[in-house]
Structure 1
Amino acid sequence: MHQSIKKNIGLVSLVLICLTMLTVAVVTGQSDQADQESSVQAETIDNQQTVGQLATAQLSLDEKDKLAMNQAAMKEAVKEQPTAVKKKPVQEAANKQTAQSSQEKSKGKIVQASQQESNNQTLYVTATAYTAYCDGCSGVTRTGIDLRANPNQKVIAVDPNVIPLGSKVWVEGYGTAIAGDTGSAIKGKRIDLFIPSHEEAMRYGVREVKIEVIE
């Protein structure tokens, strides 16, 4: 009986010793694992700080490079600016002068054209024809043009009170002629065209034509 109790006590003691050793082992393992995790976390934090410092240093270098480039560009702009400022007014003045001269030329042309148009007198007159060999004709006009010697000369007889002698006159269907002759029957808005051929002069007959006194 006593021996059985001793055996039981010995088994219980053995079990308690095993449980104690197992507990110690578990606690020790957990402590080691916690230490390892703390070490890993510390290394991770250190690595992150190192990366952050490197990135900050790189950004600082980039900012310094950009700042240096901007300063260099500003210096170049300052160097070039006075030249551009000096050239611009000169160029603008030249452009303005060219534009003004072009406008003046254009105005001059317009004025001349308008004056020329205003000086031209337009009339509608009755026109007949005559030759240098009519009865009682000498062939020499009032202004001294020898029509027999110059049969291709375009001359018209006019009323000097309407169209001044010596004027250049454009006649519809006849061309530009000289108002170089007069006639007893040529009064008011009536003209007589010189045509070398008697037959053509007769065929011309009497017409209403438009004329312009050019000068």
Structure 2
Amino acid sequence: MVGRSFHDHHSAAAPGPGTKGGTVNRIPSIRVTDAADAAVLGLWHRSDRVSRRHGWRSIVGGPLLLILGIVPVIAAFAVPGPRWLVLPLLGLPALYLLSAGGLRTYAELFRLRIGPLIMHRFDDGFVAERPRGPLRAVAFAELKDARLIDHHGADGAMVLLLMVHWDGTAWACLAPSPAEALVEMGHAAEARREKLPRYEVNELLRKTPPWTGWKQTW
């Protein structure tokens, strides 16, 4: 249910790394409001485009691995020596690098294709949406855990909102501090506020499942 105009809200999340973050200057789409009504989330408050959780380093990581994987392939045919010895020694590393690079490139292209993550906040929950991909309505009462984490990242002071559903689905949203939109969402979800060093946040993100409970990437 759309309860008010989006332009009644002037605060916005600052852009997250790797995305053109911030407030989305339009009311939610029909599929968002239908999902919110079905989940009985109440009135709509705001919509914000948030970080993909991965920056430009992850986007170039896949192609870089592919390039590195080609080097052993070329070397296998250029290095003198018995083929039965040279091919396994250089072929196995090449296979690993090419496979890892291909998978990472596919994952990042998939995320780019389905669009940025948009979080639509309602009275009693939120709708997580990829404009050309998955959508899910979640009531705050369905969350197993919610954390607002302040830390100092590569781009300065950052805020991480980590919300985990009972089915294991996890949403990890990053934005430069003060990140009003994420903080508002965290307060609505009754997230506990804490401060962690950068290495602990990186480890937390590394362990956060990249797949939702519905087998779709966020």
TM superposition score normalised by structure 1: 0.25
- Larger Cα-atom Rg: 1
Greater share of strand: 2
